Amino acid sequence: MDEEFYIGGKNAVVEALKANSFIDKLYIAVGAKGQIIDEIIKLAREKGIPVQLVSRDKLDEFYAGKHQGVVAKTPPYVYKEVDDILAIAKNKGEHPFVIILDGIQDPNNLGSVLRTADACGAHGVIIPKNRAVGITPGVIKASAGAIQYVSVARVTNITRTLKELKDVGLWIIGADMDGAINYCDADFKVPVGLVIGSEGYGISRLVKENCDILVKIPMVGKINSLNASIASAILMYEVLRQRNF
């Protein structure tokens, strides 16, 4: 990963400031206005973060996506450990609720998963180091600030991690179009690790073999699969429903 790491977008930057994430410097486009821009500048000054006005062309050099007139320079994302995620659940007195992503490659999908994970109270997300997207500026932007509140661990071997999660009592539930039961019939009130497969390929064979159960989302249309972030959202909200209603 590059030494210089930039995040762009009003929501991503303001949430980073609110969460006390380390920010080296803020760049604001000349002429940028609005309530959120004012809030960003105010928060930065309160925290002693330098703010520099630059041209939009300069912001384009820093950040390739839609920066909305604001870019923050930060250190690269620091991944958590799986044990850190389990500790969050323990400290809250809750059964672990962990999302395991098996090879998600689209930054927008990962960002969307993080947003839903935050909304549904997941304790963390686990991603693989290889053949999958990591926490990039694009993911941070797509998460709309959720990355500041959802712990992400990056592991070398998802299969081994599933076995370790089982050893500490998690029930591993995978989403698969050929699953044995409908997702709403599964018990998500137990400690759970929810496995979501990659775009187009689903859960890999070894990972699938290490799931305790596979669940399916009923579909009556012409297509036979859902976008990974949509499928994960349906399942995460089922966990939330069962645990809170």
**Residue where a domain terminates, one of 27, 53, 74:** 74
Tell me, letter by letter, the H, E, C secondary structure of 59-70: HHHHCCCCCCCE
The verdict on 48 and 169 lying in the same domain is no
What would the mean pLDDT of 180-196 be, rounded to a whole number? 95
- Cα separation, 3 vs 60, whole angstroms: 18
Residue 220: CATH number of its domain: 3.40.1280.10
The verdict on 33 and 112 lying in the same domain is no
| pLDDT of 240 over the 90 cut | yes
Percentage of the residues of the chain whose pLDDT score is greater than 70: 98
- What is the pTM assigned to this prediction? 0.85
The verdict on 158 and 57 lying in the same domain is no
| pLDDT of 132 over the 60 cut | yes
Kindly report the average pLDDT of the chain as a whole number: 91
pLDDT tens-digit readout, 141-152: 888 788 889 999
Which pair of tokens denotes residue 58? Answer: 């300069």
What's phi and psi for 109, nearest 5 deg? -65, -45
- Cα separation, 192 vs 238, whole angstroms: 12
**According to the model, what pLDDT value does residue 3 have?**
52
What would the mean pLDDT of 65-72 be, rounded to a whole number? 90
**Confidence band for 1, pLDDT divided at 50, 70 and 90:** very low
| pLDDT of 54 over the 70 cut | yes
Q: Which segment of 65-79, 142-156, 166-180, 219-233 scores lowest on mean pLDDT?
A: 219-233
Q: Give me the residue label for tokens 């590059």.
A: 2
The verdict on 168 and 217 lying in the same domain is yes
Residue 21: CATH number of its domain: 3.30.1330.30
**According to the model, what pLDDT value does residue 164 have?**
97
Q: Give me the residue label for tokens 């990355």.
A: 147
Domain residues for the domain of 21 are 5-74
The verdict on 51 and 135 lying in the same domain is no
Identify any residues that bridge with 171 across adjacent strands, giving them in sequence order.
192
The verdict on 211 and 115 lying in the same domain is yes
User: How many structural domains compose the chain?
Assistant: 2
Identify any residues that bridge with 28 across adjacent strands, giving them in sequence order.
53, 70
Which 3 state secondary structure label does DSSP give 238?
Answer: helix
Which pair of tokens denotes residue 27? Answer: 């760049």
- Burial label for 64, CB within 10 Å (0-12, 13-18, 19+), is exposed
**Confidence band for 165, pLDDT divided at 50, 70 and 90:** very high
* Long-range contacts from 54-58, C-beta under 8 angstroms, 24+ separation: 54/27, 54/28, 54/29, 54/30, 55/29, 55/30, 56/29, 56/30, 58/27
At 182, the amino acid letter reads N
